[in-house]
Chains A and B, each alone.
Chain A
Amino acid sequence: MKDKEVKNKVNESFTKVSPDDFGSVKTTCGGQTIERGGVAVKTAKHNGLFWKLATAFLALALVAMAVLSMVMFIPGRAVAATVSLDVNPSIQIQVNSDERVLSVTPMNKDGEIIIGDMDLKGAQLQVAVNAVIGSMLRNGYLSDIANSVLVSVDSNKQDLYNKVVETVTSEITLRLKENDLDASVLSQWIKTNDKASQIARDYGISVGKAQLICKILEQNNTYSVDQLALLTINELNLILANYNLPATDDGITQNGSAASDKKYIGEQEAMTKALEKLGEIVGAEVTETDLTRKEIKLDYDDGLMVYEVEVVYNGREYEFEVNAIDGTVVLEDDKNVGGGTSRPVQPSDAVTEEAAKQAAFDKVGVTDESLVSGYFCERDDDDFEIEFVYDSKKYEVDVTLGGIVKSVKWRPISNTATTNSFLDEICAQKNLDKSKVSNFKVEKDDDLRGGKEVYEVEFDYLDGGRRYECECKITADGTIYDWEQEIDD
Chain B
Amino acid sequence: MPTISEQTPSAKELDKYIAAIAQNDLRALETLYKKTHTAVYAYALSLTRNREDAQDILQDCFIKVYESAHTYSSHGKAMSWILTIARNLALSRFRKYARNVPISDEVLANVFADTETSPEDRLVIMGCLEQLSEEERTIVVLHAVAGMKHRHIASHLGMPLPTVLSKYRRALKKLKNILTGEHSNERQRSKKQSE
List the interface of chain A (C-beta within 8 A of B).
1, 3, 6-22, 24-26, 28-30, 32, 34, 36-37, 41, 43, 69, 72-73, 75, 77-80, 82, 154, 190-194, 197, 200, 207, 482-484, 486-487, 489
B140 interfacial by beta-carbon distance below 8 Å:
yes
Q: Chain A residues near B100 (CB, 8 Å)?
A: none
Q: How far is B172's CA from A1's CA once the two chains are assembled, in angstroms?
A: 11
Q: How far is B70's CA from A191's CA once the two chains are assembled, in angstroms?
A: 50
Closest chain A CB from B37 CB (angstroms)? 6
Closest chain A CB from B71 CB (angstroms)? 9
B145 interfacial by beta-carbon distance below 8 Å:
yes
Instruction: Flag if B179 contacts A6 (CB, 8 Å).
Output: yes
Instruction: Flag if B169 contacts A484 (CB, 8 Å).
Output: no
Q: How far is B165's CA from A12's CA once the two chains are assembled, in angstroms?
A: 22
B186 interfacial by beta-carbon distance below 8 Å:
no
Partner of A10, one of B30, B58, B116, B124: B124
Q: How far is B164's CA from A441's CA once the two chains are assembled, in angstroms?
A: 27
Chain A-chain B contacts (Cβ-Cβ < 8 Å), number: 158
B117 interfacial by beta-carbon distance below 8 Å:
yes
Partner of A75, one of B38, B106, B141: B106
Q: How far is B29's CA from A30's CA once the two chains are assembled, in angstroms?
A: 11
Q: A18-B42, A22-B30 are in contact. Are A486 and B150 (CB under 8 A)?
A: yes
Instruction: Flag if B26 contacts A26 (CB, 8 Å).
Output: yes
Q: How far is B24's CA from A32's CA once the two chains are assembled, in angstroms?
A: 10
Contact bitstring B126-142, A, C-beta under 8 A = 1, else 0: 00100000000000110
Instruction: Flag if B181 contacts A25 (CB, 8 Å).
Output: no
Looking across the interface, which residue of chain A has its beta carbon closest to that of B183?
A: A192
Closest chain A CB from B120 CB (angstroms)? 5
Q: Chain A residues near B121 (CB, 8 Å)?
A: 12-13, 16-17
Q: How far is B4's CA from A36's CA once the two chains are assembled, in angstroms?
A: 35
Instruction: Flag if A18 contacts B37 (CB, 8 Å).
Output: yes
List the interface of chain B (C-beta within 8 A of A).
1, 3-5, 7, 22, 24, 26, 29-30, 33-34, 37-38, 41-42, 45, 51-52, 55, 58-59, 62-63, 66-67, 70, 106, 109-113, 115-125, 128, 140-141, 143-145, 150, 162, 165-166, 169, 172, 175-176, 178-181
A-B contact pairs, 28 of them (CB 8 A): A7-B4, A7-B144, A13-B124, A13-B125, A14-B38, A14-B45, A15-B38, A15-B145, A17-B41, A17-B117, A18-B37, A29-B29, A29-B62, A29-B66, A36-B70, A37-B70, A43-B24, A69-B52, A75-B106, A78-B109, A78-B110, A192-B181, A200-B118, A207-B118, A207-B120, A484-B5, A486-B150, A489-B162
Q: How far is B147's CA from A283's CA once the two chains are assembled, in angstroms?
A: 74
Instruction: Flag if A489 contacts B109 (CB, 8 Å).
Output: no
Instruction: Flag if B113 contacts A79 (CB, 8 Å).
Output: yes
Q: Chain B residues near A82 (CB, 8 Å)?
A: 119
Q: How far is B137's CA from A10's CA once the two chains are assembled, in angstroms?
A: 11
Partner of B150, one of A9, A207, A487: A487
Q: Chain A residues near B110 (CB, 8 Å)?
A: 72-73, 77-78
Partner of A192, one of B7, B66, B119: B119
Q: How far is B113's CA from A80's CA once the two chains are assembled, in angstroms?
A: 10
Closest chain B CB from A50 CB (angstroms)? 16
Instruction: Flag if B180 contacts A9 (CB, 8 Å).
Output: no
Closest chain A CB from B43 CB (angstroms)? 9
Instruction: Flag if A36 contacts B175 (CB, 8 Å).
Output: no
Known A13-B117, A32-B67; further 5 A-B contacts with Cβ < 8 A: A14-B45, A18-B38, A18-B41, A22-B34, A207-B120
Q: How far is B117's CA from A11's CA once the two chains are assembled, in angstroms?
A: 13
Q: How far is B24's CA from A409's CA once the two chains are assembled, in angstroms?
A: 65
Q: Chain B residues near A24 (CB, 8 Å)?
A: 59
Instruction: Flag if B29 contacts A19 (CB, 8 Å).
Output: no
Closest 5 CB pairs of A and B: A13-B121, A14-B42, A10-B144, A13-B124, A18-B38
Q: Chain B residues near A25 (CB, 8 Å)?
A: 29, 33, 59, 62-63, 66
Looking across the interface, which residue of chain A has its beta carbon closest to that of B55?
A: A19
Q: How far is B51's CA from A487's CA once the two chains are assembled, in angstroms?
A: 34
Instruction: Flag if A72 contacts B109 (CB, 8 Å).
Output: no
